[in-house]
Structure 1
Amino acid sequence: MPVSESGSQRGADFSQEDSQLPSFYSPRTKATADAEADRRNGSVADLSTLSLSNPGSNRRIVPSKDADNDDGASTDTSRPPSSLQIGASLPPPSLLSPAFTPPSTPGSATPSVEKEPRGVPVDSSKPTGGCGRNKPKLLETLPHVECIVRARIPTTTGAEMFLHLYTNNVDNKEHLAIVFGGKIRSRSLDAPRPGETEMDRLVRGAYTGRLFPGRTTSSVNNNDAQQEKEEEEPTQPPLVRIHSECYTGETVWSARCDCGEQLDEAARLMSLPSNKAGGIIIYLRQEGRGIGLGEKLKAYNLQDLGSDTVEANLLLRHPADARSYGLATAMLMDLGQKEIRLLTNNPDKIRAVEGPNREIVVTERVAMVPLSWKGRGGFRAPEVEGYLKTKIEKMGHMLDMASLPS
């Protein structure tokens, strides 16, 4: 085969490759080839007007259903480029590092259309405070945590986050805090360390403002300090998601759970321009609700043999949920949080995250409704439907049905 292929050959190859990938993970690769053809013909899509509501859709979005043919491509060449899917203007995704994960990347909502999610007030100090029927087992003493490095992470849509890596005194895992917003900082990271230089502080992320070539000091300059003072102060606590690692749902396209969708949706909500308070995703390395990846895969085989997700764990002689949230509480305290809005469907998690002495107070619970239930993309599969049904019926998870379309 010659080194240089024609555009039509590349488009055919992309289409064959795309048929092997779940639609909710990456944009249509065939649409990418179509976009290249549009550019060759002088028709270039305007990124500022593209629809971003469903990046994982299998079709290029057009105003009329009559404009779709059997393969999902538009047959109406008179339609304006702004009706194309955002995936049509991006390079083809890599199988090793997909350009998009389900259902979208952070900050991909249209600012003028979407507002912050509505929360339900909760109060764990009251029996009827909306914090679950179970009393989670709490640690008597919170773990000691230390943020050893942070770095700015620019995303494919322009939203930015700061990734914080934590060590602790209870396990040898590296837990993470994904922080949205410039006002949320780690106390342990900012604390001076004996013998370190200014370059040491810059390299480990203990700086204020922004890094730039030639910067030599970690402290903020006068202009940056004035700008920080002029920024609008948040009127409510930040949105927080406590997320446990799920390799199968986040990396290998599993339809047995909605963990990948929940992680991406949390990041998207925290990146909304209307979210002035910022956001934090505490990413705990608690694979398989605390039983580890190997045991989780055994549980998957038991599910194929007829057990649900709770029964499978019990058959393997594990608790239905073996996770602990003391690390999350300690990390939130290190990030200077006293009150939070918690993004979860599990009301029992509210009291668990607050800590033994309510070191953190959850003021609101924000529901995480599956996107497919809201008619906004996402995915459906028999496995994930059974998984959600079990979590609701056996584990007490709740959904804010008022957020669904009428």
Structure 2
Amino acid sequence: MPGSELRQLQSDGTRLPSFYSPRPEPPETPHNDADIEQADFSISGGNPASASDGDNAEDASPAQPATPLTQPPPASLLSPAFTPPSTPGTATPSAAGPAIPAEPRGIPVDSSIPTGGCGTKHPRLLERLPQVECIVRARIPTTTGAEMFLHLYKNDVDNKEHLAIVFGGNIRSKSLDAVREGETEMDRLVRGAYTGRLYPGRTTSGFPALGPPLVRIHSECYTGETVWSARCDCGEQLDEAARLMSLPGNKAGGIIIYLRQEGRGIGLGEKLKAYNLQDLGSDTVEANLLLRHPADARSYGLATAMLLDLGQKEIRLLTNNPDKIRAVEGPHREIVVKERVAMVPLSWKGKGGFRAPEVEGYLKTKIEKMGHMLDLGSLPS
């Protein structure tokens, strides 16, 4: 997307640099005690020109000459331009009226048969699933008006704090909701074992029914999510998963399992070495192998255990990686993936996103060497 399409005027007339997204509209603060299960998880307001497609961003700016910057722009928390500027939970209106977001289309899969759409590899599975416990949960309001619940987990295999980002109030953690000896109702409210929303004066927690969600297993990527790297599409995938899960039509909600396994499991330091090898001519798979690491060292047992704790036995999985389907199902198919929902780069769909030589090579390697289910013909020539 040309940088000129993303330059936005600030309130004082100065222009932000091209890599800044449009400034989001602040959500209105609710002033009632309605439970979150009854709330609309779509955006509560905002400028239509800041919708997720980002196609009309330039039209939203006043038609006037650019004001030269006389001083550096103020510090900003806005995301880079290649991140969907109004995620999660937005839709772009058209001349015919407000757009109705479509549910992401799923492809039926069955890992129990060779032709089930889950690839030909047989990933190594753990002999047992890890023991996990959700120790705290909190509501996270977002800059677009949608809301989510952040669950923090501990486990018995590492000392890392893995996360589940949950959309919708009907998805519950069994370990969080379990009554603990000697705790009060206030203890339960403070650690997040409640339904609906907290408000001043609330004294009880309560329990809801469970429902089937859309699920994304996402491995941490500091470079793609935090420092605007164009070597991968991880930041875009995280934002797009959140957008899909908070669409108004997605009544079942969604779960993003956020695993702290940077660089496909090799860690940030080794990942940066792999970047240097890529600049010397290797692809992502070759770079890992040259550093004496597997092409993909990630494990998904923690994800399986966390999903079970969240009450999920059958899921729709948002992924292009067929091997992830079998891996997430667990050693004894404790979870069954009923559908695979494709994660298509936004630039391929003509809905913003970004293009760069590095990310194009990264996607080609995923397709050609790792068996990811993306249409190679859709890649830019």
Normalised-by-shorter TM-score class: 0.7 to 0.9
Shift in Å, 1:144? 0.1
- Kept in 2: contact 1:27–1:57 (CA 8 A): no
Deviations 1:280-326 (A, max 9, x none): 00000000000000000010011111111111101110000000000
TM-aligned CA distance change 1:218 to 1:304, over 3 Å: same
Picking from 100, 122, 128, the partner of 2:109 is: 122
Picking from 320, 342, 348, the partner of 2:317 is: 342
Name the residue aligned to 1:11. 13
- Kept in 1: contact 2:284–2:365 (CA 8 A): yes
2:148 aligned with 1:161, yes or no? Answer: yes
2:19 aligned with 1:27, yes or no? Answer: no
Shift in Å, 1:214? 1.3
Q: How far apart, in 2, do the equivalents of 1:318 and 1:157 lie?
A: 40
5 Å-filtered alignment, 1:101-250, equals 102-104=83-85, 105-110=87-92, 112-219=99-206, 237-250=212-225
Q: How far apart, in 1, do the equivalents of 2:10 and 2:236 lie?
A: 33
2:337 aligned with 1:362, yes or no? Answer: yes
Q: How far apart, in 1, do the equivalents of 2:378 and 2:100 lie?
A: 15
Gaps of 5+ in 2: 1-8, 25-43, 66-72, 93-97
Residue 61 of structure 1: SS of its match in structure 2?
A: helix
Picking from 74, 82, 87, the partner of 2:63 is: 74
TM-aligned CA distance change 1:197 to 1:322, over 3 Å: same
Picking from 52, 60, 63, the partner of 2:58 is: 60
- Kept in 1: contact 2:22–2:50 (CA 8 A): no
TM-aligned CA distance change 1:402 to 1:151, over 3 Å: farther
1:131 alignment partner AA: C
Q: How far apart, in 2, do the equivalents of 1:356 and 1:218 lie?
A: 35
2:240 aligned with 1:265, yes or no? Answer: yes
Higher fraction of helix: 1
Residue 300 of structure 1: SS of its match in structure 2?
A: helix
- Kept in 2: contact 1:93–1:99 (CA 8 A): no
Name the residue aligned to 1:317. 292
Q: How far apart, in 1, do the equivalents of 2:349 and 2:22 lie?
A: 20
Shift in Å, 1:97? 5.9
Picking from 289, 292, 306, the partner of 2:281 is: 306
Q: How far apart, in 1, do the equivalents of 2:286 and 2:365 lie?
A: 10
Residue 11 of structure 1: SS of its match in structure 2?
A: coil
Residue 304 of structure 2: SS of its match in structure 1?
A: helix
Shift in Å, 1:265? 0.1
Residue 212 of structure 1: SS of its match in structure 2?
A: coil
Q: How far apart, in 2, do the equivalents of 1:109 and 1:290 lie?
A: 35
% identity of equivalent residues? 78
2:22 alignment partner AA: P
Gaps of 5+ in 1: 1-6, 30-45, 63-71, 77-91, 221-227
Shift in Å, 1:59? 4.5
Name the residue aligned to 2:305. 330
CA RMSD of aligned residues (A): 2.9
Shift in Å, 1:56? 5.4
Q: TM-score, normalised by structure 1?
A: 0.77
TM-aligned CA distance change 1:400 to 1:199, over 3 Å: farther
Name the residue aligned to 1:380. 355
Residue 161 of structure 1: SS of its match in structure 2?
A: strand
> What is the number of residues matched between the two proteins?
339
- Kept in 2: contact 1:60–1:74 (CA 8 A): no
- Kept in 2: contact 1:178–1:282 (CA 8 A): yes
2:373 aligned with 1:391, yes or no? Answer: no
Residue 51 of structure 1: SS of its match in structure 2?
A: helix
TM-aligned CA distance change 1:402 to 1:304, over 3 Å: closer
TM-aligned CA distance change 1:8 to 1:288, over 3 Å: closer
- Kept in 1: contact 2:233–2:359 (CA 8 A): yes
1:198 alignment partner AA: E
TM-aligned CA distance change 1:245 to 1:297, over 3 Å: same
TM-aligned CA distance change 1:364 to 1:101, over 3 Å: same
- Kept in 1: contact 2:23–2:78 (CA 8 A): no
Residue 319 of structure 1: SS of its match in structure 2?
A: coil
TM-aligned CA distance change 1:310 to 1:282, over 3 Å: same
- Kept in 2: contact 1:131–1:351 (CA 8 A): yes
Q: How far apart, in 2, do the equivalents of 1:399 and 1:215 lie?
A: 49
- Kept in 2: contact 1:245–1:283 (CA 8 A): yes
Residue 148 of structure 2: SS of its match in structure 1?
A: strand
5 Å-filtered alignment, 1:255-294, equals 255-294=230-269
Shift in Å, 1:370? 0.3
